[in-house]
């Protein structure tokens, strides 16, 4: 097994543990957010291993650097220290859910096995910002511009929703 | 490719499942939003995996779109959480059950 | 356009005969029902009486045209094709031939007189004005229906009129509906009629089926008559649940139609509605239950004479039913005390005579008696109405007597009617009844026809007896009124009296339309029986010659005369000479008298056998169990309650209001769909 593969499984494990940490952490919302950061970063590492360099960079910058920070801002703004409420009223739905997901996953993988087409080799420069930039500004320029509208709308919406009432 | 595609997809599915469980189970609205982010990330991973497998940059372009949307969604979602907190002084999702029968 | 081969002329005149009264009725209907602006009394009179008068004048004109230079032709007024389906078509068209000409003249003429009479009679109505107008509306509607019936060119138009007169009969019998009993009598008439109508419909269906089988699907009379020989002898096998017997088609159809005639023309077993129909106003009794509606059955039999001529079995049934009904009703009439009831049973009896004639092949004789009966029965009913008015709505003859001094003019016209119905010459009834008896005597194709003749003679005696009994008890003898009540008795107004005079004249002279040849020979008049000659081309058997010698005919006439006189004498003896005699006879034969007086308990028997079980089934089974219980309870309310239970006790909990449950369900749904798509 190559070093890259080993790294992949390591980071994969880290991602899973971090996600579990985020979901299962009942005490502290900030701790959950921290776990989320770890998950994001490990995913970024996995992206690198999968030759998606620009995506990895953006993942770290936007997700770990902006989105989770935003989460933390809000947590601190609301001064939420501890989760005083329990997860659910009863354990049963939780266990059921986990069991169902496990089964679903197993079924899904079984389904996939052998149906995927063969892997093709990656060309030179694949995943780099040049290649991606080319694709983004030629074939996909319309979605690109559309997202700017989306962001504009989101900004306006967020401002209105979060604004302190002045009156 | 370093690892078989199935493994990448499997990882994506596991993370997605964890995200679902988090979204359905936790009562803190902020944690729910974080779980949703996790789900989106899982999907991104799948996109990247496929993109690498078939040497098609479209997958990665789409990932950029998803990240953008996720960012926007978090911004607005947290704005909603702020309004909710201001009205009810709590971020417990079970406080918003006006549509109950 | 003249169809020279068949002698048929097209015209657009005939439609106005029924449509003018329809228009009047429609105007009344709109004014009363929709616009709610009733017409003034005068307006109503002009509209309604005017419409019927116009109908009569057009009928006269059409009739005159029919008597044109080439002899009676047939005139048809085809409005449009009512039903067109493949090679079958039913036209909305009217037919004027000798039979229908006689009928429309009788209907419009007598109808008009009764309309005039009603002006005076219904004036007494203490309701508000719409009672008066409503009455004329219904009368017009009835006239329309009756004219449709007799002018119809095919069985469907005729059936339309058939049902229409049934409806109008119901409306008019129950006219004063605030009294429950009147409404009940109206219902009874309608329901019993409907039973007959079922027979009529079955007849139409079987006939049509047979005709369609030979490739000539039609319901038009002329076409049926032309094609009938092909199917008359066909054998029809009834289905197993009806006995599985084989019947000759003509007989089967004839009997089915005759059932309809029994309902409409009040023969046994469906006559029970007619006496109770007297609950309606007297003009109604005169028009519908004496002169027109009840004659529809006779008309129908004569219209289908070709069918009955080919069905000796059915004809025999008709003759015997008619004779027995005539005798049966006459025996009841001699014990009744209500003026109108006596006249009602008399009508049933006279209708029996008409069917007796028709069954024996004397269709012209039946129609002759139909016409004369229309005149003198209408006269009698209207006269009775005048008496009732004079007595301030008292109908019981037990409370009358000696009215001849108080209302002389009414008394004289009533006497004319009585003499006419009893069959004393030279009044109309003598000739028409004679012809019927002659036909019965000579009908050797009908089994037991001499017995039929005998029954006819006995009934003639009884007819004379009960009519003169009625006359004497009402107008003669010691009065049973108190002196002050007697002083209050007065003649009715002119509009009531003048129609009586006209009808009296016709009751006197109408008989000469069918002047038998035997007398014509004495007076040197060839073809003296103008009516029979007029009708001959369209009736089966043509100029029905009984094959009886002149001498025999005279002997039979004398016998009939004797019978009538015998009745008169007995009545005179019993009610004028020794008035206590009836009372004593009643005492000695009390049980027998009771049987007759209570109309043989037929109503009670029908009630126990048919009415009660039907009502019980309708109420208990059909209404409570099936309709209210099953359909309403289980199907309608049950489904509602089920859905409600499902929603309130089950589905409601889906809406927990918790976002996370909703999310969970969404995910569940998505997984299910994806799973199914990837199956």
A8 and A72 part of one domain: yes
Question: What is the rounded distance in angstroms from the CA atom of residue C252 to the CA atom of residue C638?
Answer: 48
Query: Could you tell me which residues of chain A have a Cβ less than 8 Å from any Cβ in chain C?
Result: 97, 104, 111
Q: A111: nearest CA in chain C?
A: C678
**Per the domain annotation, does C540 fall within a domain?**
yes
Question: What is the rounded distance in angstroms from the CA atom of residue A161 to the CA atom of residue B79?
Answer: 5
pLDDT at A40 over 90: yes
pLDDT at C125 over 60: no
> What's the rounded mean pLDDT across residues B85-99?
82
At residue C581 the predicted structure's pLDDT band, cuts being 50, 70 and 90, is confident
Range in A67-76, C30-39, C318-327, C555-564 the model is least confident about: C30-39
B36 touches chain C (CB under 8 A): no
B23 touches chain C (CB under 8 A): yes
**Per the domain annotation, does C197 fall within a domain?**
no
Shortest CA gap B74–chain C (Å)? 18
Q: What angle do CA C574, C577, C580 make, to 5 degrees?
A: 55
- Contact yes or no for C655 and B100 at CB 8 A: yes
> What's the rounded mean pLDDT across residues C661-669?
86
Tokens representing C160? 């339309």
pLDDT score for C4: 40
Partner-chain residue, chosen from B34, B44, B75, that has the shortest CB–CB distance to A33: B34
Tokens representing C384? 């009775």
A101 and A133 part of one domain: no
C653 touches chain B (CB under 8 A): yes
Tokens representing C479? 């009065």
C589 and C611 part of one domain: no
**Per the domain annotation, does A62 fall within a domain?**
yes
**Per the domain annotation, does C200 fall within a domain?**
no
The pLDDT tens digits for C87-111 are 888 888 898 888 899 899 999 999 9
Report the candidate in B34, B25, B67 with the shortest Cα–Cα distance to residue A36: B34
- Structural contact between residues A22 and A71, judged by C-beta atoms closer than 8 angstroms: no
- Contact yes or no for C663 and B99 at CB 8 A: no
The torsion angles phi and psi of C338, rounded to 5 degrees, stand at -85, 130
B9 touches chain C (CB under 8 A): no
- Contact yes or no for C657 and B24 at CB 8 A: no
**What's the residue count for chain C?**
679
C178 touches chain B (CB under 8 A): no
At residue B48 the predicted structure's pLDDT band, cuts being 50, 70 and 90, is very high
Question: What is the rounded distance in angstroms from the CA atom of residue C88 to the CA atom of residue C91?
Answer: 10
- Structural contact between residues C347 and C294, judged by C-beta atoms closer than 8 angstroms: yes
pLDDT score for C1: 34
**Per the domain annotation, does A84 fall within a domain?**
yes
C376 and C409 part of one domain: yes
- Contact yes or no for A143 and B61 at CB 8 A: yes
pLDDT at C209 over 80: yes
**Per the domain annotation, does A97 fall within a domain?**
yes
C509 and C650 part of one domain: no
Shortest CA gap C675–chain B (Å)? 15
**Per the domain annotation, does A45 fall within a domain?**
yes
C446 and C571 part of one domain: yes
Break chain A down into helix, strand, coil percent, rounded to 5: 70, 0, 25
**Per the domain annotation, does C424 fall within a domain?**
yes
Beta carbons within 10 angstroms of residue C673's beta carbon: 10
| Helical (H) or strand (E) element with C78 | strand C74-85
A37 and A87 part of one domain: yes
Burial class (CB in 10 A: 0-12, 13-18, 19+), C366: buried
Tokens representing C311? 């069905």
- Structural contact between residues C437 and C319, judged by C-beta atoms closer than 8 angstroms: no
A80 and A156 part of one domain: no
> What's the rounded mean pLDDT across residues C638-646?
91
C469 and C363 part of one domain: yes
**Per the domain annotation, does A123 fall within a domain?**
no
Partner-chain residue, chosen from C659, C663, C667, that has the shortest CB–CB distance to B96: C659
Beta carbons within 10 angstroms of residue C237's beta carbon: 11
pLDDT score for A116: 72
Total domains in the fold of chain C:
2
Shortest CA gap B34–chain C (Å)? 14
C652 touches chain B (CB under 8 A): yes
pLDDT at C559 over 70: yes
The pLDDT tens digits for C449-481 are 889 999 999 999 999 999 999 998 888 877 777
**What's the residue count for chain A?**
167
Shortest CA gap B94–chain C (Å)? 6
Range in A19-33, C246-260, C533-547 the model is least confident about: C533-547
> What's the rounded mean pLDDT across residues C531-558?
79
A51 and A88 part of one domain: yes
C613 and C592 part of one domain: no
The pTM (predicted TM-score) of the whole model is 0.74
Shortest CA gap B49–chain C (Å)? 21
> What's the rounded mean pLDDT across residues A115-119?
72
Picking from C573, C597, C621, the residue at the C-terminal end of a domain is C597
A20 and A92 part of one domain: yes
pLDDT score for A8: 93
Neighboring chain A residues of B64 at a CB cutoff of 8 Å: 55, 58, 132, 136
A141 touches chain B (CB under 8 A): no
Neighboring chain B residues of C657 at a CB cutoff of 8 Å: 96-101
Average pLDDT of the residues of chain C:
86
- Contact yes or no for A111 and C671 at CB 8 A: no
A71 touches chain B (CB under 8 A): yes
Neighboring chain A residues of B73 at a CB cutoff of 8 Å: 154
Report the candidate in C81, C79, C67, C73 with the shortest Cα–Cα distance to residue C17: C79
C580 and C628 part of one domain: no
Beta carbons within 10 angstroms of residue C494's beta carbon: 12
C579 and C673 part of one domain: no
Question: What is the rounded distance in angstroms from the CA atom of residue C341 to the CA atom of residue C334?
Answer: 11
At residue A69 the predicted structure's pLDDT band, cuts being 50, 70 and 90, is very high
Contacts of A130 (CB under 8 A, 6+ apart): none
Chains that touch C (3 or more CB pairs under 8 A): A, B
The pLDDT tens digits for C269-278 are 899 999 999 9
The boundaries of the domain holding residue C669 are 601-677
The torsion angles phi and psi of C548, rounded to 5 degrees, stand at -110, 140
Q: B46: nearest CA in chain A?
A: A47
Residue C261: strand, helix, or coil: helix
The pLDDT tens digits for C337-386 are 888 999 999 999 999 999 999 999 889 899 999 999 999 899 999 999 88
pLDDT score for A90: 63
Contacts of C360 (CB under 8 A, 6+ apart): C315, C319, C439, C440, C442, C443, C446, C449, C452
- Structural contact between residues C462 and C334, judged by C-beta atoms closer than 8 angstroms: yes
**Per the domain annotation, does C404 fall within a domain?**
yes
C581 and C541 part of one domain: yes
Q: Which domains does chain B have, with CATH numbers?
A: 5-89 (1.10.287.3510)
pLDDT at C417 over 70: yes
Is the four-CA dihedral A75, A81, A85, A91 of positive or negative sign? Answer: positive
A55 and A90 part of one domain: yes
Integer Rg of chain A from CA: 20
Report the candidate in C18, C141, C162 with the shortest Cα–Cα distance to residue C77: C18
**Per the domain annotation, does C337 fall within a domain?**
yes
C655 and C593 part of one domain: no
**Per the domain annotation, does A118 fall within a domain?**
no
Complex confidence, ipTM:
0.91
At residue C497 the predicted structure's pLDDT band, cuts being 50, 70 and 90, is confident
Q: How far apart are the first and last CA of chain A?
A: 66
Partner-chain residue, chosen from B24, B99, B100, that has the shortest CB–CB distance to C664: B24
Question: What is the rounded distance in angstroms from the CA atom of residue A64 to the CA atom of residue A33?
Answer: 10
Q: Are strands C235-237 and C8-10 parallel, antiparallel or unpaired?
A: unpaired
Using the structure block, give the residue that is written with the tokens 């089926």.
C209
- Contact yes or no for B101 and C652 at CB 8 A: yes
A34 and A75 part of one domain: yes
The pLDDT tens digits for C603-623 are 888 888 888 999 988 888 888
**Per the domain annotation, does A73 fall within a domain?**
yes
**Per the domain annotation, does A42 fall within a domain?**
yes
pLDDT at C42 over 50: yes
Name the more confident of B30 and A108. Answer: B30
**Per the domain annotation, does C21 fall within a domain?**
no
pLDDT score for C198: 93
C678 touches chain B (CB under 8 A): no
Q: A87: nearest CA in chain C?
A: C660
Question: What CATH number is associated with residue A16?
Answer: 1.20.120.1200
Question: What is the rounded distance in angstroms from the CA atom of residue C336 to the CA atom of residue C472?
Answer: 14
pLDDT score for C69: 65
Using the structure block, give the residue that is written with the tokens 């002899």.
C71
> What's the rounded mean pLDDT across residues C482-501?
80
Range in B66-75, C256-265, C280-289, C540-549 the model is least confident about: C540-549
A82 and A135 part of one domain: no
A16 and A84 part of one domain: yes
Q: At what angle do helices C249-264 and C312-333 cross, to 10 degrees?
A: 20
Q: Quote the percentage of chain C above a pLDDT of 70.
A: 97
The pLDDT tens digits for C155-197 are 999 999 999 999 999 999 988 888 889 999 999 999 999 999 9
Strands (E), chain A: none
- Contact yes or no for A86 and B58 at CB 8 A: no
User: Quick one: residue A158, left, alpha or beta (phi over 0 = left, psi -120 to 50 = alpha)?
Assistant: alpha
The DSSP line for C295-333 is GHHHHHHHHTHHHHHT-HHHHHHHHHHHHHHHHHHHHHH
Contacts 24+ apart (CB under 8 A), C569-575: C570/C461, C570/C465, C571/C464, C571/C465, C571/C466, C571/C467, C571/C468, C571/C469, C571/C471, C571/C472, C572/C468, C572/C472, C574/C469, C575/C468, C575/C469, C575/C472, C575/C473, C575/C476, C575/C477
A132 and A94 part of one domain: no
C663 touches chain B (CB under 8 A): yes
Using the structure block, give the residue that is written with the tokens 């739905």.
A93
Neighboring chain B residues of A21 at a CB cutoff of 8 Å: none
Picking from C597, C613, C642, the residue at the C-terminal end of a domain is C597
Chains that touch B (3 or more CB pairs under 8 A): A, C
Question: What is the rounded distance in angstroms from the CA atom of residue B34 to the CA atom of residue A70?
Answer: 11
> What's the rounded mean pLDDT across residues C204-230?
86
pLDDT score for A86: 56
**Per the domain annotation, does C384 fall within a domain?**
yes
> What's the rounded mean pLDDT across residues C391-405?
78
The 3-class secondary structure across C73-132, one letter per residue, is CEEEEEEEEEEEECCEEEEEEEEECHHHHHHHHHHHHHHHHHHHHHHHHHHHCCCCCHHH
Picking from C563, C582, C597, the residue at the C-terminal end of a domain is C597
The torsion angles phi and psi of B92, rounded to 5 degrees, stand at -85, 125
Contacts of A119 (CB under 8 A, 6+ apart): B1, B5, B53, B54
C455 and C538 part of one domain: yes
Total domains in the fold of chain A:
2
The boundaries of the domain holding residue A80 are 1-107
Neighboring chain A residues of C671 at a CB cutoff of 8 Å: 104
Strands (E), C250-302: none
Shortest CA gap C632–chain A (Å)? 44
Burial class (CB in 10 A: 0-12, 13-18, 19+), C455: buried
C366 and C421 part of one domain: yes
pLDDT score for C490: 78
pLDDT at A88 over 60: no
pLDDT at C399 over 80: no
């Amino acid at each position: 097994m190559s070093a890259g593969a080993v790294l992949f499984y390591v980071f994969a494990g880290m991602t899973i543990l971090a996600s579990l940490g985020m979901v299962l952490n009942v005490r502290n919302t900030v701790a959950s957010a921290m776990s989320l950061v770890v998950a994001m970063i490990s995913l970024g590492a996995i992206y690198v291993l999968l030759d998606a360099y620009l995506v990895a960079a953006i993942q770290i910058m936007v997700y770990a650097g902006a989105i989770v920070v935003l989460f933390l801002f809000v947590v601190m703004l609301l001064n939420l220290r501890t989760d005083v409420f329990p997860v659910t009223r009863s354990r049963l739905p939780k266990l059921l859910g986990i069991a169902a997901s496990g089964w679903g996953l197993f079924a899904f993988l079984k389904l996939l096995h052998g149906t995927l087409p063969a892997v093709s080799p990656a060309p030179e420069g694949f995943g780099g910002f040049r290649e991606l930039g080319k694709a983004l500004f030629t074939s996909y320029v319309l979605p690109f511009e559309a997202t700017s509208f989306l962001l504009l709308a989101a900004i306006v919406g967020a401002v209105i929703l979060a604004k302190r009432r002045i009156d | 490719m370093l690892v078989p595609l199935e493994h990448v997809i499997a990882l994506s599915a596991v993370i997605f499942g964890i995200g679902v469980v988090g979204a359905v189970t936790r009562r803190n609205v902020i944690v729910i939003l974080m779980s949703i982010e996790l789900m989106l990330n899982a999907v991104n991973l799948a996109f990247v995996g496929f993109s690498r497998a078939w040497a098609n940059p479209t997958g990665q372009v789409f990932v950029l779109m998803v990240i953008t949307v996720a960012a926007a969604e978090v911004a607005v979602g947290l704005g909603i959480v702020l309004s909710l907190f201001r009205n009810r002084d709590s971020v417990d999702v079970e406080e918003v059950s006006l549509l109950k029968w | 356009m003249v169809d020279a081969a068949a002698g048929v002329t097209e015209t657009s005149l005939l439609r106005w005969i029924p449509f003018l009264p329809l228009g009047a009725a429609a105007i009344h209907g709109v004014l009363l029902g929709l616009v709610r602006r009733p017409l003034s009394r005068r307006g109503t009179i002009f509209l309604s009486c005017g419409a019927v008068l116009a109908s009569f004048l057009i009928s006269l004109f059409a009739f005159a045209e029919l008597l044109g230079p080439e002899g009676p032709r047939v005139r048809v007024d085809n409005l449009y094709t009512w039903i067109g389906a493949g090679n079958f078509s039913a036209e909305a068209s009217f037919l004027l031939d000798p039979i229908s000409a006689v009928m429309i003249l009788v209907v419009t003429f007598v109808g008009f007189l009764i309309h005039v009479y009603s002006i005076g009679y219904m004036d007494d109505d203490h309701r508000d004005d719409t009672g008066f107008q409503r009455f004329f509306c219904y009368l017009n509607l009835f006239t329309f229906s009756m004219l449709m019936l007799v002018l119809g060119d095919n069985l469907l138009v005729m059936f339309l009129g058939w049902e229409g007169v049934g409806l109008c009969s119901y409306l008019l019998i129950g006219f004063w509906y605030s009294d429950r009993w009147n409404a009940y009598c109206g219902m009874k008439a309608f329901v019993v009629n409907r039973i007959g109508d079922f027979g009529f419909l079955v007849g139409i269906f079987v006939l049509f089926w047979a005709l369609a089988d030979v490739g000539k699907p039609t319901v038009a009379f002329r076409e049926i008559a032309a094609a009938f020989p092909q199917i008359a002898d066909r054998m029809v096998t009834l289905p197993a649940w009806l006995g599985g017997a084989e019947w000759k088609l003509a007989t089967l159809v004839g009997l089915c139609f005759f059932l309809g005639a029994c309902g409409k023309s009040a023969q046994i077993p469906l006559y029970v509605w007619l006496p109770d129909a007297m609950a309606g106003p007297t003009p109604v009794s005169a028009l519908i239950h004496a002169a027109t509606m009840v004659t529809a059955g006779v008309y129908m039999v004569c219209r289908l004479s070709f069918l009955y001529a080919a069905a000796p079995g059915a004809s025999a049934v008709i003759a015997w039913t008619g004779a027995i009904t005539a005798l049966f009703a006459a025996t009841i009439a001699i014990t009744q005390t209500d003026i109108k009831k006596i006249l009602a049973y008399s009508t049933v009896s006279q209708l029996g005579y008409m069917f007796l004639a028709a069954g024996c092949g004397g269709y012209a004789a039946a129609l002759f008696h139909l016409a004369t009966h229309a005149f003198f029965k209408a006269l009698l009913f209207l006269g009775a109405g005048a008496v009732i008015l004079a007595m301030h709505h008292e109908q019981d003859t037990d409370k009358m007597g000696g009215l001849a001094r108080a209302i002389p003019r009414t008394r004289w016209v009533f006497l004319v009617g009585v003499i006419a119905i009893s069959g004393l010459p030279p009044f109309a009834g003598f000739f028409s009844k004679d012809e019927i008896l002659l036909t019965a005597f000579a009908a050797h194709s009908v089994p037991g026809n001499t017995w039929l003749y005998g029954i006819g003679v006995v009934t003639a005696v009884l007819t004379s007896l009960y009519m003169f009994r009625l006359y004497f008890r009402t107008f003669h003898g010691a009065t049973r009124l108190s002196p002050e009540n007697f002083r209050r008795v007065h003649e009715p107004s002119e509009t009531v009296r003048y129609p009586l005079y006209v009808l009296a004249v016709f009751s006197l002279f109408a008989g000469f339309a069918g002047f038998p040849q035997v007398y014509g020979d004495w007076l040197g008049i060839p073809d003296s029986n103008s009516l029979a000659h007029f009708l001959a081309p369209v009736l089966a058997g043509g100029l029905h010659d009984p094959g009886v010698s002149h001498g025999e005919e005279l002997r039979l006439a004398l016998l009939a005369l004797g019978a009538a006189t015998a009745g008169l004498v007995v009545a005179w003896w019993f009610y004028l000479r020794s008035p206590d005699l009836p009372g004593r006879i009643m005492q000695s034969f009390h049980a027998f008298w009771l049987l007759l007086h209570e109309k043989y308990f037929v109503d009670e028997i029908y009630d126990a056998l048919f009415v009660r079980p039907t009502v019980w089934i309708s109420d208990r089974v059909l209404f409570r169990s099936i309709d209210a219980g099953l359909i309403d309870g289980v199907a309608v309310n049950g489904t509602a309650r089920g859905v409600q239970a499902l929603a309130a006790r089950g589905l409601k909990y889906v809406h927990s209001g918790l976002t996370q449950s909703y999310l969970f369900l969404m995910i569940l749904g998505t997984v299910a769909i994806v799973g199914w798509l990837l199956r």
